[in-house]
């Protein structure tokens, strides 16, 4: 029981590069899907927006202190833009590296499973290894007899398989690069008000916040479409997160 629980705990992490990774590499639906699958792309975008919001909402409080109504010098705005852009880029780079490392880790897990199967002394032992990996998925939709027949067939096919080398691949690098690219592009609409209203920093910050939680709604709506959840509810939930952050920050001077 202990090993099963521990393996389940690791699966949500590796799922990012599992079926999603396969979907990305086999999809012919466009440039973005060749970099990241839709869920990874949306998650990356949402996190980038939240990082930017943390900068724009805290900026006036940190810089202007007890008098948030005073004029915001252009030098402060430049600091905000550089800091927010740098943090977003750093987030993308870190997440891109993690994407590649998790992909390698996932292949290592598959290598470990195959090694365990090939060292199994009996069919029952091999079936137990497979069950430990897949029961948590199949238990709700299959009977024990069905799973046993399936696992026996899987064991028969895999026991003579040859493990593939566990190394960093071209697809891992492309996925990591995609994480960086998505993280940067996701926040560009929120930076637009600073370019359009550079002479009015207070207005630019407020408009940037509005754009950010509008983008959160759009990404949440798309998330709902891809996961089968209600697009409107998911979009409104994420937009509400941004709106609450804004409502909390404004009375504090944000």
Convert the pLDDT of each residue in 188-247 to its tens digit.
Answer: 999 999 888 888 887 888 899 889 989 999 999 998 888 888 999 989 988 888 777 766
Report the alpha-carbon distance of residue 78 to residue 84 in Å, rounded: 10
Q: What is the pTM of this model?
A: 0.68
User: How is the chain split into domains, by residue range?
Assistant: 2-55+71-120+159-197
The encoded tokens of residue 178 equal 């995609």
Q: Does position 5 have pLDDT exceeding 50, yes or no?
A: no
Report the alpha-carbon distance of residue 236 to residue 17 in Å, rounded: 27
The CA-to-CA distance between both ends of the chain, in Å, stands at 50
Mean pLDDT for the chain overall: 78
pLDDT tens track for 166-195: 788 888 888 889 889 999 999 999 999 988
In sign, the C-alpha dihedral spanning 194, 196, 201, 207 is negative
Looking at the chain, how many residues does it have? 254
Three-state secondary-structure class, residue 210: helix
Q: How confident is the model at residue 252 (pLDDT cuts 50, 70, 90)?
A: low
Q: Which of residues 68 and 227 earns the better pLDDT score? A: 227
Q: Which residue has the tokens 């080398």?
A: 165
For 55, the enclosing helix (H) or strand (E) is helix 38-64
């Amino acid at each position: 029981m202990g090993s099963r629980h521990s393996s389940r705990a690791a699966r949500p992490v590796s799922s990012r590069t599992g079926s999603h990774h396969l979907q990305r590499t086999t999809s012919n639906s466009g440039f973005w899907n060749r970099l990241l699958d839709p869920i990874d792309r949306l998650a990356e975008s949402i996190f980038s927006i939240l990082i930017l919001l943390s900068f724009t909402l805290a900026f006036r409080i940190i810089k202007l202190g007890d008098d948030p109504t005073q004029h915001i010098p252009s030098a402060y705005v430049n600091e905000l833009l550089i800091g927010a852009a740098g943090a977003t880029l750093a987030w993308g780079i870190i997440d891109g590296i993690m994407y590649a490392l998790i992909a390698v880790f996932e292949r290592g897990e598959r290598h470990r499973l195959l090694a365990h199967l090939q060292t199994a002394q009996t069919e029952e032992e091999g079936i137990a290894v497979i069950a430990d990996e897949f029961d948590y998925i199949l238990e709700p939709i299959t009977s024990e007899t069905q799973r046993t027949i399936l696992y026996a067939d899987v064991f028969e096919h895999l026991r003579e398989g040859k493990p593939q080398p566990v190394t960093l691949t071209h697809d891992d690098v492309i996925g990591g690069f995609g994480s960086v690219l998505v993280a940067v592009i996701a926040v560009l609409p929120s930076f637009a008000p600073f370019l359009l209203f550079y002479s009015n920093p207070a207005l630019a910050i407020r408009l940037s916040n509005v754009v950010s939680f509008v983008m959160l709604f759009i990404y949440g709506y798309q998330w709902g479409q891809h996961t089968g959840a209600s697009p409107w509810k998911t979009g409104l939930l994420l937009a509400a997160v941004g709106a609450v952050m804004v409502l909390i920050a404004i009375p504090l001077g944000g």
